Structure formats: C-alpha cells, structure tokens
C-alpha cells in the first residue's frame, strides 16, 4: 500500500541579515536558531513510521531535512517540484520604498496570478503532483517532504477548494511547521497542523519568504 500520510514540513529560520526576499538565491542556509527549529520539528512525528524523506533542492530545505534523515535513518531524496516559486523581487527588501518604485509597478498589476512570479496555479499543480508521487513511492508508512511556505500554503488552499490568491500575511505556515495530509476517497485531505518549534518563533525572523 502507498503511504498513509504525507507531511509537508517548512524549513527553519534562514540566516538573512539584510532582510531580503531570498527566493531561489543561493547561499541562504539556516541560522543557528533555524537549526534548532528544524530539530524541534522532528519531535512532532516521534514514533511515527516515516519511511521516505523528500526535500526541496534549496540549501535551507536540505539543512532542515538533515535532522529527519538522522532521526529516521533515511536518505534525503531531492524533489525539485517542491522548491520555492520564482519571484522577480529576489534579492530586494520588500518594503514600502520598493513597492512605491515605478520601475516595479508592472510586476504588481495582477496579484491574483501573481504577475511578479510563478503563477499560483502552477505552484499548486506541481506540489500536488509531487505529493502524489511521493505517496506512491513507498509501500507503507508515512512520508515527510521539506518545502517552503508558499508551496505548502498552495497545497493547503488547493485541497481545501479555496481561491489560490490570498493575503500573504495570513498564511498559516510558520517556520518548521508540519501540515499533514491523508489520502481519503481518492484525494488528499488535510488532517493536521502542528508547530513543534512554537516556543522558538518569538525570537525568529521570517521576512524572506516568497
């Protein structure tokens, strides 16, 4: 039988002293706090039969997957379909000064797509395809997939039949959180959400997500 559950895990805090939108840029690994958050996340599935581990190719996701690999004795399988979306604002500080600059206004013309990066519908489609393949890649147990805030949130909204466009400030997908899905009646259904690193969130900075 395929996996019973698929757990989408967000990476921990990123070392980002300039507070830029890091997107797919290289060189953005976890901070010391981020490593602690990633380790805390693993405790959320202690005792679970995790039989496969997938991670986005980006450094912060690979580093966040390392505690899972150690805890469950698994290799990290790199899955490019769960990577952070592209974004034309990569490397810039996302503040009022940036948004007020006329040179960027054409990127903001339609936030429902959005026009500044990979379309939400494409992000959702690749996430659901990766989740389906990951579930079917094992004979039993549960699967962990370490990804990023927006891809996880797109999977959540798509499977909840909610509009994909949204207010980024209202995403329920904190650093090192775990969003869990079961496959019921031929489709994924969300069955759980937990923040094992909640005690660490007060000291965390989360400004670079797409």
Residue 1, domain member (yes or no): no
Residue 209, domain member (yes or no): no
Question: Given a cut of 80, is residue 174 above it in pLDDT?
Answer: yes
Residue 2, domain member (yes or no): no
Instruction: Report the CATH number at residue 50.
Output: 3.40.50.1240
The side-by-side arrangement of strands in the sheet containing 50-55 is: 76-78, 50-55, 142-147, 5-10, 178-184, 187-194
Q: Work out how many domains the chain is built from and give that number.
A: 1
Q: What is the mean pLDDT of the chain?
A: 96
Element (H, E) at 154: helix 149-159
Residue 190, domain member (yes or no): yes
Nearest in space to 40 (alpha carbons), one of 61, 15, 14, 68:
68
Nearest in space to 111 (alpha carbons), one of 64, 45, 163:
163
Residue 210, domain member (yes or no): no
pTM: 0.96
Element (H, E) at 129: helix 120-136
Give CA–CA dist 88/117, Å, rounded. Answer: 6
pLDDT band at 148; cut points 50, 70, 90: very high
Residue 206, domain member (yes or no): no
Q: Which domain holds residue 45?
A: 7-201
Question: CB neighbours (10 Å) of residue 93?
Answer: 13
Question: Given a cut of 80, is residue 1 above it in pLDDT?
Answer: no
């Amino acid at each position: 039988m395929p996996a019973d559950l698929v757990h989408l895990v967000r990476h921990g805090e990123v070392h980002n002293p300039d507070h830029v939108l890091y997107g797919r840029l290289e060189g953005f690994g976890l901070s010391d706090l981020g490593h602690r958050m990633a380790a805390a996340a693993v405790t959320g599935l202690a005792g679970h039969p995790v039989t496969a581990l997938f991670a986005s190719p980006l450094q912060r996701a690979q580093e966040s997957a390392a505690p899972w690999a150690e805890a469950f004795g698994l290799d990290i399988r790199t899955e490019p379909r769960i990577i952070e979306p592209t974004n034309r604002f990569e490397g810039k500080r996302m503040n009022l000064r940036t948004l007020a600059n006329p040179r960027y206004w054409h990127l903001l013309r339609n936030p429902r797509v959005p026009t500044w990066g990979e379309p939400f519908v494409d992000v959702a489609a690749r996430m659901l395809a990766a989740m389906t393949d990951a579930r079917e890649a094992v004979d039993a147990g549960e699967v962990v997939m370490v990804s990023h805030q927006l891809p996880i949130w797109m999977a959540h909204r798509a499977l909840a039949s909610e509009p994909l466009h949204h207010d980024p400030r209202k995403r329920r997908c904190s650093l090192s959180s775990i969003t869990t899905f079961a496959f019921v009646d031929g489709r994924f259904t969300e069955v759980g959400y937990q923040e094992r690193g909640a005690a660490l969130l007060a000291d965390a900075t989360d400004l670079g997500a797409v």
